[in-house]
Amino acid sequence: MVGSLCKDRDIRSFLAGSAALILCLVLTGGFLLFRQMEDIKKVYLQQQAEAAGALLEAGVDPARAAKLLAGEISEEMAAQGRLLMRRAGYEETLAVYLMPVLRSLGGKWGAVYSVFGLTAIGLSVFLVFCLLQREHIRLKEMEENVRRFTEGNFDRRIAAEGEGDFALLSTAVNEMASSLNSHREAQMKAKEFLKDTISDISHQLKTPLAALFMYQDIIQQESVEEETVKKFAAKSVAALERMQTLVLNLLKIARLDADMIRFGSQEVKVRGLMEDIRSEFETRAQREGKEIILEGSQACYTVCDRDWMQEAVSNLVKNALDHTKEGGKIEISWEAVGTGTRIQVKDNGNGIHPEDMYAIFKRFYRSRFSNDGEGAGLGLPLAKAIVEGHEGTISVESALGEGALFTVFLPYKEVNR
């Protein structure tokens, strides 16, 4: 505790000042004691001189008187002297103030020591006051800053100078302010994101809803034309499927943002996972005249949440199909590398415009160079969120007109049992 206090600059200054004050008081006290002893010496010599005069007046030989004053007095003589003193009223029980010489001397030095003591007390109080005043100012500043923090003003900081408890407290208060400011900024971003998301959802749903109303109106007006009814019924189903995909993807992203998803970790045979994904898109690929090719080791395993990872890679394959012309190829490959597993989805489609390379993983991003009028811009952001939720990485390489290559890396980790 003392060591911690001694780290504070003000405490060190107070202790140094106290030590200097104590040293000054000791030296001053010693000087006053010396002066008091000088006065006592004068009184003693005066009394000795008076005694010597009395001896000489009584006819005592000067040499004999000098010896008596030097202390060559027998016990019998001392006893007779004490008896004489008692008869004159001078005893050990006699009050000091009844002795004129001592009363004068005591009054003088009593006043001196009183002034000395009051001065010492005053200086000590002044030092303590200065310290407490400084600490009060610092505490007041902290209180004002904390009050501002509670009001949402995080611009000011407390100067955390030196070391010690106050410096630690100042640092802690500043860290609290930074943390609160970060939370506030995060909340503002979340509100802004929610606002943008709602706006984007509204915009994305507006088109298929308007189409559904139009198709329904046509079906009602052309109820006798079977081919027309079938045609627009199919379009209604497609619009509903698009809306369903959009809503489901939004819900998935919202759950990921809210940290509501706990990814499992299990050993997954990569070949089996990729075959399931190819089977999912096989009908569409055949209908559009495209080919999905798998290439990778049968023995390759990775650790992930199988369902969510299938969702992520499926979105990459769907993106490849959306941007590949008839006769195109989508190659899905995988291999064990270093400390994890690498999965790649490659197509020979239109490729990605350089302007879009750093924005394709943003939500609702729609390239002005894209011919895909149906996409909502959620597939790639969802894939990225899932991969990163597995502590993995996702990247893309592309040359315009030569297709795109998406690479997913999943690190090895322990399996949850």
Q: What is the mean pLDDT of the chain?
A: 77
AA letter at 389 = G
Average pLDDT over residues 309-319: 92
Q: How confident is the model at residue 332 (pLDDT cuts 50, 70, 90)?
A: very high
**pLDDT number for residue 130:** 80
Spans of all domains in the chain = 1-151, 166-255, 264-411
CA–CA dist 52, 288 (Å, integer): 141
**pLDDT number for residue 367:** 64
| β-pairing verdict for 393-398 and 404-411 | antiparallel
Minimum mean pLDDT range among 81-85, 283-287, 397-401: 81-85
Which residue in 346, 240, 340, 335 sits closest to 291, CA to CA? 346
The answer to whether residue 365 scores a pLDDT higher than 80 is: no
Question: How many Cβ atoms from other residues are within 10 Å of residue 396's Cβ?
Answer: 18
Average pLDDT over residues 260-265: 81
The answer to whether residue 5 scores a pLDDT higher than 70 is: no
Q: Where does residue 56 fall: left (phi above 0), alpha (psi -120 to 50 degrees), or beta otherwise? A: alpha
**pLDDT number for residue 1:** 43
Cβ atoms of 160 and 174 closer than 8 Å? yes
Beta strand ranges found along 16-173 (DSSP E):
none
Q: How confident is the model at residue 192 (pLDDT cuts 50, 70, 90)?
A: confident
**pLDDT number for residue 57:** 78
**pLDDT number for residue 154:** 64
Q: What digits encode the pLDDT tens for the residues 230-248? A: 777 777 777 777 777 777 7
More confident residue, 343 or 150: 343
* 264-411 has the same fold as 166-255: no
Minimum mean pLDDT range among 7-21, 68-82, 115-129, 265-279: 7-21
Coil, helix or strand at residue 156: coil
CA–CA dist 59, 30 (Å, integer): 43
**pLDDT number for residue 93:** 67
Q: What digits encode the pLDDT tens for the residues 373-393? A: 455 567 888 899 899 988 999
**pLDDT number for residue 67:** 72
Which of 115-119, 213-217, 262-266, 333-337 has the highest mean predicted lDDT (pLDDT)?
A: 333-337
Minimum mean pLDDT range among 11-15, 68-72, 274-278, 364-368: 364-368
Q: What percent of the chain has pLDDT over 70?
A: 75
More confident residue, 387 or 164: 387
**pLDDT number for residue 407:** 94
State both tokens at 333: 């490959």
The CATH homologous superfamily for domain 264-411 is: Histidine kinase-like ATPase, C-terminal domain (3.30.565.10)
End-to-end CA distance of the chain: 48
Q: How confident is the model at residue 45 (pLDDT cuts 50, 70, 90)?
A: confident
The answer to whether residue 297 scores a pLDDT higher than 80 is: yes
Which residue in 236, 234, 230 sits closest to 216, CA to CA? 236
Average pLDDT over residues 51-74: 74
Element (H, E) at 99: none
**pLDDT number for residue 346:** 94
Q: How confident is the model at residue 179 (pLDDT cuts 50, 70, 90)?
A: confident
Minimum mean pLDDT range among 7-16, 314-323, 343-352, 408-417: 7-16
Alpha-carbon distances of 186 from 180, 364, 365, rounded to whole Å: 10, 21, 22
The CATH class of the 166-255 domain is mainly alpha
Which of 96-100, 321-325, 369-373 has the highest mean predicted lDDT (pLDDT)?
A: 321-325
